[in-house]
Amino acid sequence: MLSLAKLLQLTGLSATAALVLAILIVEGRPLSLKELSEKTGYAKGHLSSILQFLESRKLVEKVYEKRRKLLVKVKEKAVSNLLKEHLSTLREIIQEIISEMKKDIVVTELKPFEVEL
């Protein structure tokens, strides 16, 4: 689970948000705030703000069980979409780096000809 949390952190999530999301993914079922608190060791108040953040990013959603018990679950396809976005961003950055490196190589290769001109 910690490996998954580290992967999720690479997408820009805080360590706590990544851990909470990883737990929800691994559990594969909605969890209550109490369960998340027990599994993470974080206070419910702290988790509430993390869950609000994850909900604003459309990664989790609240569901209600009988007697209005609040549970939190991972939104369908949310994590795969998050990872796809991150990979797309990485691809763009790598392409920019390659393009800059190609320009540097061309400039370096042309330098000897400057002296001759």
What's the confidence (pLDDT) of residue 116? 54
pTM of the model: 0.74
| Cβ contact 79:25 at 8 Å | yes
Name all domains of the chain by residue range, CATH numbers in brackets: 2-116 (1.10.10.10)
Q: How far apart are CA 117 and CA 103, in angstroms?
A: 21
Provide the residue-wise pLDDT of the chain in tens; the chain has 117 residues: 889 899 999 899 999 999 999 999 999 999 999 999 999 999 999 999 999 999 999 999 999 888 777 889 988 888 888 888 888 888 999 888 888 888 777 777 777 666 555
Choose among 79, 77, 73, 69: nearest CA to 27: 73
User: Which residues are registered as beta bridge partners of 70?
Assistant: 64
Q: Treating both helix axes as pointing N-terminal to C-terminal, what angle do 33-40 and 15-27 enclose, rounded to 10 degrees?
A: 110
